[in-house]
Amino acid sequence: MKGVRRIRSLLSGWRSWPTYLELMLAGELQSLQIRTDVTRDELFLLYRLAKSVRDGDIVEIGSYLGASACFLAAGAAKARASVYCIDTWKNDAMTEGPRDTFAEFVRNTEHHRSRIMPVRAWSTDAARELSVDVGLLFVDGDHSTDAVAADLRAWLPKVRTGGWLALHDSGWAEGVQAGIAGIVEPLRVGDPIQLPNLYVTRIRSPR
């Protein structure tokens, strides 16, 4: 069994080599050193999704220390899109407890400062204030059922029809799973892409 897992790991690694080389040439592998719960495979997939955006900008709900924001921004540079990072940066709903992480985020994302637009606010407040045409929405904020539903209801109407939606922690967070089943699935276009802890799909916007 251990040998089978090792073979699967090696095969997965080979599939990611083109992306790895792209990011290495772009000088982006430094961002793998930023502390995050998003895995390397998930970060690489976010980069590829961002790179594929042809219309609209990218919105990330829940940015923490900036790892995923960097990979989204690296892809957005190729798509000529901006990345709106929305967070209170007060560690709300984080297991490590409350602290101000904004300075760390700014420092970690400095090399993408022309691409990343930090929005220090609650997600639902930001949705009311910002007029953004969204080509990719990445949701990784508070994972409670009510919070996920509020994030999705606030932001899905801003996503272009056929735009990408990605939700992190879909493998274990019941609130994320409830949001997928109750809100996302009726809007889904085609089959989703699923990693163990990341759910990605194109959606039909409920505008």
Query: The domain that contains 146 carries what CATH number?
Result: 3.40.50.150
Q: Please spell the DSSP secondary structure of 31-46, one letter per residue.
A: GGGS--SS-HHHHHHH
List Cβ neighbours of 64 (8 Å cut-off, separation of 6 or more): 36, 87, 94, 101, 105
At residue 15, the pLDDT reads 61
Between CA 171 and CA 177 the distance in angstroms is 8
At residue 175, the pLDDT reads 98
Specify the amino acid at residue 176. V
* Nearest residue to 64 via CA among 40, 43, 92: 92
Which has more pLDDT, 9 or 44?
44
Which has more pLDDT, 130 or 16?
130
Tens digits of residue pLDDT in 59-112: 999 999 999 999 999 999 999 999 999 999 999 877 788 899 999 999 999 999
Whether the pTM exceeds 0.85: the reply is yes
DSSP element (H, E) containing 159: strand 159-168
Between CA 87 and CA 121 the distance in angstroms is 6
Percent of the chain's residues with pLDDT above 90? 80
Instruction: Give the residues across from 119 on adjacent strands.
Output: 86
At residue 13, the pLDDT reads 44
The distance of Cα 34 from the centroid of its chain, to the nearest Å, equals 15
Domain of residue 196 covers: 2-203
Contact 84, 119 (CB under 8 A): yes
At residue 66, the pLDDT reads 98
List Cβ neighbours of 21 (8 Å cut-off, separation of 6 or more): none
The pLDDT of residue 7 is above 90: no
Per-residue pLDDT, averaged over 49-56, amounts to 95
The domain total for the chain is 1
Percent of the chain's residues with pLDDT above 70? 92
Contact 162, 202 (CB under 8 A): yes
Residue corresponding to tokens 């508070």: 142
The pLDDT of residue 154 is above 50: yes
At residue 43, the pLDDT reads 96
Residue corresponding to tokens 């969204």: 134
The pLDDT of residue 167 is above 90: yes
Contact 133, 26 (CB under 8 A): no
